[in-house]
Amino acid sequence: MKKVSIINEIDEMLTTYCDGCFVRTQLRKDEGKTAAHRFCISSCTVGTQLQFLGNELNKVGTGDKQ
């Protein structure tokens, strides 16, 4: 994957799934920003995919390609 296509995919996922996410909004209200972030990066399938894409972006950025 090229860098631009990874960035576009990340942007599309954030726009489609994260903007207006009820779970994140409710967690922020009830437990705070840190708890909501923790949920997104550890329990949410979209967050897991975003982490994967971020790692792929780092690989492309450093020149390590698979």
The count of structural domains within the chain is 1
Provide mean pLDDT across the span 12-19. Answer: 95
The pLDDT confidence band at residue 63, using thresholds 50, 70 and 90, is low
Model-level pTM?
0.78
- For residue 28, what are the domain limits? 3-61
**In the predicted model, is pLDDT for residue 57 greater than 60?**
yes
Residue with tokens 């020149």: 63
Q: Is residue 66 part of a domain?
A: no
Task: Indicate whether 49 belongs to any domain.
Answer: yes
Decide if 41 is inside a domain.
yes
Residue 32 has pLDDT above 70, yes or no: yes
Residue 65, pLDDT > 70, answer no
Give the mean pLDDT of 54-64: 82
3-state helix, strand, coil in the chain (%, to 5): 80, 0, 20
Domain assignment present for residue 29? The answer is yes
